[in-house]
């Protein structure tokens, strides 16, 4: 049996600003979990996936070409710095790469937020954008955790300490996991913040994660259901 596409489905496929971004974010999280932090090629692939997320967000920057090109440029700098760090193993390059990627994700959150929370009715694309922001928050915090660990080694306790891995080699993969566990308040306890800045950042992320789901996502879904109810009555 062949399922026909509805007009709404066709409209979403051709005009969705945030569909490709959400797909790239979900792919990044799952693919990086299958890659090894010990393998240099795998680490480069992970950084490439981050840059792919930047490319997939082009539609989200449709309101500002300048912001789009600036974000693309900084994303390219981040990827180049990560490559250079793999070759030279210089801490400053790791910090520069993480700072650039953190800036990129802040810019993405702002751009998607403008589209999602602007004037207009709540549709599926806005809800997808709101979900994308949730994933972006998880990735942004992963880079913030990484920066804390780079500046103050020992800020986090890992179940297995691998002294052979230096600088940015293992941190991003580990902190993507820790960030999403903290954002969703699962709290497995295998990675533990030790320093005061690390603890405060983890607490702040847990609060942001709970408030975002409770207030933003739930309200947007409720508003869309309400709008559909009104349209059916009319």
Question: How does pLDDT run across 19-61, given as a tens digit for each residue?
Answer: 888 888 998 888 888 887 777 777 778 878 888 888 887 777 7
**Quick check: 168 and 150 in contact, CB under 8 A?**
yes
pLDDT score at 68: 83
SS3 of 74, please? helix
pLDDT score at 60: 73
Which tops the pLDDT comparison, 6 or 168? 168
Instruction: Please tell me the chain's helix, strand, coil percentages from 3-state DSSP, rounded to the nearest 5.
Output: 75, 0, 25
What is the spatial distance between Cα 178 and Cα 145, in angstroms, rounded to a whole number? Answer: 9
Which tops the pLDDT comparison, 4 or 205? 205
- Mean pLDDT (the chain) is 81
**Quick check: 132 and 18 in contact, CB under 8 A?**
yes
**Quick check: 77 and 103 in contact, CB under 8 A?**
no
Is the pTM of the predicted complex or chain greater than 0.75?
yes
Sign of the alpha-carbon torsion through 209, 212, 215, 219: negative
Q: Which of 70, 204, 177 is nearest to 78 (CA)?
A: 70
pLDDT score at 1: 38
Number of H helices, E strands in the chain: 9, 2
What is the spatial distance between Cα 79 and Cα 102, in angstroms, rounded to a whole number? Answer: 12
pLDDT score at 13: 44
pLDDT score at 169: 55
**Quick check: 49 and 61 in contact, CB under 8 A?**
no
Which tops the pLDDT comparison, 62 or 143? 143
Residue 47 has, within 13 A of its CA and on its CB side, a CA count of: 27
The band of 9, judged by pLDDT with boundaries at 50, 70 and 90, is very low
What is the chain's Cα-based Rg?
A: 19
The band of 70, judged by pLDDT with boundaries at 50, 70 and 90, is confident
pLDDT score at 178: 94
Q: pLDDT, tens digit, for every residue of 102-146?
A: 999 999 998 888 888 877 777 788 888 889 999 999 999 999 999
């Amino acid at each position: 049996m062949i399922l026909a596409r509805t007009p709404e489905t066709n409209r979403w496929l051709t005009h969705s600003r945030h569909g490709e971004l959400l797909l790239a974010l979900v792919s990044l999280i799952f693919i990086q979990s299958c890659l090894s932090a010990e393998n240099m090629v795998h680490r480069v692939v992970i950084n490439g996936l981050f840059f792919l997320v930047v490319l997939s967000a082009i539609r989200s920057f449709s309101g500002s070409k300048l912001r789009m090109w600036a974000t693309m440029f900084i994303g390219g700098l981040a990827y180049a710095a990560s490559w250079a760090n793999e070759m030279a193993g210089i801490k400053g390059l790791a910090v520069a790469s993480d700072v650039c990627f953190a800036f990129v994700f802040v810019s993405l959150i702002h751009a998607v937020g403008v589209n999602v929370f602007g004037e207009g009715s709540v549709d599926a694309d806005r809800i997808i954008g709101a979900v994308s922001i949730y994933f972006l928050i998880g990735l942004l915090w992963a880079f913030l955790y990484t920066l804390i660990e780079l500046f103050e080694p020992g800020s986090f306790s890992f179940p297995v300490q691998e002294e052979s891995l230096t600088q940015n080699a293992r941190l991003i993969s580990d902190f993507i996991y820790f960030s999403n566990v903290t954002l969703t308040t699962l709290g497995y306890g295998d990675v533990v913040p030790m320093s005061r800045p690390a603890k405060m950042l983890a607490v702040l992320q847990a609060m942001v994660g709970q408030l975002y789901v409770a207030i933003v996502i739930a309200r947007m879904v409720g508003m869309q259901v309400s709008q559909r109810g009104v349209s059916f009555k009319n």
